Amino acid sequence: MMGLPRFAPPKGGDAAGRVRSPNLFVANCGPAVGVSHDVIKAVFGRFGEVKGVYAADESGARTIVCYSEETSAESAAEALNGLPCPELNGRSLHIRYSVLQPSSPVKVNDSVHVALDASVLNIPGLHLMHEFVSAEEEQELLTAVDDRPWNNLAKRRVQHYGYEFCYEIRNVDTKKHLGELPSFLSCVLERISSLPDIDTSLNLHVDQLTVNEYPIGVGLAPHIDTHSAFEGFIFSLSLAGPCIMEFRRYSEGAWLIDNISTAEARDDCPDHTNYVRKAIYLPARSMLLLSGEARYAWHHYIPHHKIDFVGEKVIKRSPRRVSFTLRRVRHGPCECGFPQYCDSQR
């Protein structure tokens, strides 16, 4: 919730937080339980002017309601705390007072607009195709991978086809071919091969598939897919749930993770301020294509969140998100044109 006000229980209050304040912490109330912030504002607005409604945390089920006057908060707490609320389908609310915390310095890069269309980001080589597969095809793909064994990493599960990606060395062994890509992928491969007007110079043949399963709240550390391991483009199909993907281009050379498994064990990666930061919303069943500059020069990153803020909407992530990442294994030297971001040049 970067850039939003921060609240906490008042100091000196009892266990119920009974110290008067114009701000209320409201549990069992929020987008995750089907109650929008507009509805919350209307319900609590009966007791006085509401200055703002904010997510209290990443659950999506707890909310902060801020009044202009302390007396309004007191009236609302007395009328609604612990009682069924008719305007909220009889939902019982649990309310305590809350106080605004001093804000810490906010870095320029702490907030970023989340685009819905790749063209808005103006990153060469970045394309997003909505509804790339149907809901029925999505379920068939999920069933197919769930019928096959998973490998466990620190925070997620993976499957590899064609070639295995070795996270310890961040590369593939081209001498160890696992076989052709599975038949359940045929509808995706056929659609990729017939994509119109993206980049006629691209050879759309792929020979490696990595399937990642992300539990709710688990993201992916900022990284560039290893230049020496894969050539050309990257396709990433999002299934089962949405997420936000951020892109970072560093102004002074590249920042490369030496050990991806170590980086994934942390909640996030070291703070680097000299970069341009952009973000896009990836809905379920969408296909993301990274080629050229987007693939070779921009780090991509999935924040470790349980909810995402997209414009004025709060979107709760699904219990799982599954991505199909399709690539072509490199068999020759890298000629990407971005040597400062290339592991083979270091």
Say whether 127 sits in a helix, a strand or coil: strand
How many Å from the N-terminal Cα to the C-terminal Cα in the chain? 37
pTM to 2 decimal places: 0.66
pLDDT of residue 18 exceeding 70:
no
pLDDT for residue 86? 87
What pLDDT does 63 receive? 87
Q: Which residue has the tokens 């007395």?
A: 78
Give the confidence band of 306 by pLDDT, cuts at 50, 70, 90: confident
Kindly provide the b/e burial profile for residues 212-234, where b requires at least 16 CB atoms within 10 angstroms of the residue's own CB: bbbeeebbbbbbbbbbbbbbbbb
Average pLDDT, the chain: 82
Helix (H/G/I), strand (E/B), else coil: 4: coil
Exposure b/e, 128-139, CB count within 10 A at least 16 = b: bbeebbeeebbe
Task: Report whether pLDDT(112) > 90.
Answer: no
What confidence tier does 54 reach under pLDDT thresholds 50, 70, 90?
confident
Nearest-angstrom CA–CA distance, 25 and 19: 12
The region of weakest confidence among 83-92, 107-116, 271-280 is 107-116
Q: How far apart are CA 188 and CA 286, in angstroms?
A: 11
